[in-house]
Amino acid sequence: MTRRRLALLVLPVVAVAGWMALGALRGPELAAYELREQPLVQTVVATGRVVSVSRAQAGSAITGVVLERRVREGDRVQPGDVLAVLRADDLEAATREAEAGLDQLLRSARPQAQAALREAEARLDQASREAVRRRELFGRQLIAREALEQALQAETTARAGAERARLAARELDAGGPAEQAARARVASARALLEKTQVRAEVAGTVITRNVEPGDLVQPGRVLFEIAREGDTEILVPLDERNLGVLALGQPAVCVADAFPAQPFPAKVGFIAPGVDAQRGSVDIRLAVQPVPDFLRQDMTVSVNIETGRRERALVVPNDALAAIDGDRAEVWRATDGRAERRTVKLGLRGLALSEVVEGLAPGDLVLADAAAPVAEGDRVRTAPMAPPGDGQDPATRKELPAKLD
């Protein structure tokens, strides 16, 4: 009876030991992916900001004190709208003086010159008649030569006076030099007075204001910044290593941080010709059309740029890749129950999956953990698991770095 009990106790121990020995011979059980072909999208993920195609800066052309500010941030303006008004007492006085000068010319100086001309011409007519009469009398020897010479001298003097009056009247005539100069002075004074009103030169939205009533402003100081109406873009700085996969016209999906449930489309419209040496980045601009109503200037936006697509590609999950060097990487392939280190060539790189163009085939099993504690030729058992999907909601990508995944 004792032997039977001992046998009953020993058998389970032996069974467990045998099972452990058999497990050791078969190797550890590790998660693995079975490779298959499926669609694959390569993307670049980054964060950018909303910008207008261009901005206009408004400032004062003269030095003065701000009397009134008429707009604030967010106001929409049209060309000619007054943004601010400067105090202009001296300029208003100068304008009134110039206008008074023009009025004096039109109402007084010109009529006086015309009257003086008529008077001078009348004197000339009288002098000419007297000279003719005395010439006749002298011919009949009824007067002395001296009397004739006096009449001729008077005629000459009257003719010179008439010519001076004619020149003076012509100077003050309508459209003449004096009127042109007076009107120019008025126009100059009014133009200078007009500069006391800082106006918008373009249609758009006021995004910054740097002035308040009472401030002293000078030429060259930016008082307002206006985002021009027109196309809206997303400015995105990208790591320069992504340049090789970027191209104009590539589609993108954008998500404003403030409106994560409302993604909107965009396209790559500009790639900067140079790289920022300090940051090691290149600026790109995404054209947005149509522009969502909720977008605001300088709003933070997460972008997902599609840089490549395959309708059918042999893919491997990125967590199975090790020793990545350019388009080369290594994986653990499970073949006939043993681990084999395999070098593969990569194609497109997605957020979760990468394309394998050389080194593996559909149906191959690769270990899910690229750093699995196995060596070349070790026995392994595989526990198949579903590969991760490559699609992600754009709203979940905003924390990812600006790099090609």
Q: What pLDDT does residue 248 have?
A: 93
Q: At what angle do helices 145-171 and 110-139 cross, to 10 degrees?
A: 160
Per the CB < 8 A criterion, the answer to whether 184 and 160 are in contact is no
d(Cα 176, Cα 165) in Å, to the nearest integer?
Answer: 15
List the one residue out of 244, 281, 254, 287 whose CA is nearest residue 47.
Answer: 254
d(Cα 290, Cα 298) in Å, to the nearest integer?
Answer: 18
Q: What pLDDT does residue 226 have?
A: 87
- DSSP-based three-state secondary structure for 189: helix
Token readout for 193 is 């007075």
DSSP secondary structure letter of residue 388 = P
Which pLDDT tens digit goes with each residue over 211-222? Answer: 999 999 999 899
| Overall pTM surpassing 0.85 (yes/no) | no
Q: What pLDDT does residue 394 have?
A: 36
Q: What pLDDT does residue 235 have?
A: 93
Which pLDDT tens digit goes with each residue over 282-310? Answer: 999 999 988 888 888 889 999 999 988 88
Asked if pLDDT for residue 62 goes beyond 60, the answer is: yes
d(Cα 300, Cα 123) in Å, to the nearest integer?
Answer: 88
User: Per the omega criterion (within 30 degrees of 0), is the bond before 290 cis?
Assistant: yes
Burial class (CB in 10 A: 0-12, 13-18, 19+), 331: buried
List the one residue out of 226, 115, 220, 117 whose CA is nearest residue 164.
Answer: 117
Token readout for 335 is 């073949």
Q: Which residue has the higher pLDDT, 108 or 394?
A: 108
Q: What pLDDT does residue 294 have?
A: 87
Q: Once rounded to an integer, what is the mean pLDDT over residues 238-243?
A: 89
| Rounded to 5°, angle at Cα 354 from 351 and 357 | 160
d(Cα 80, Cα 63) in Å, to the nearest integer?
Answer: 20
Asked if pLDDT for residue 156 goes beyond 80, the answer is: yes
Q: What pLDDT does residue 389 have?
A: 61
Cβ within 8 Å of residue 262, ≥6 positions away: 255, 256, 292, 294
- If pLDDT is split at 50, 70 and 90, which confidence band does 405 have? very low
Token readout for 197 is 């009103």
Q: At what angle do helices 89-104 and 177-194 cross, to 10 degrees?
A: 160
What order of strands is seen across the sheet that includes strand 64-69? 197-199, 82-86, 64-69, 216-217
- DSSP-based three-state secondary structure for 179: helix
Strands (E), 178-260: 197-199, 204-209, 216-217, 222-228, 232-239, 251-256
Q: What's the distance, CA 341 to chain centroid?
A: 51
Which pLDDT tens digit goes with each residue over 325-382? Answer: 888 999 989 888 888 898 999 988 877 888 998 888 898 888 888 888 888 888 988 8
Q: What pLDDT does residue 403 have?
A: 37
Per the CB < 8 A criterion, the answer to whether 136 and 127 are in contact is no
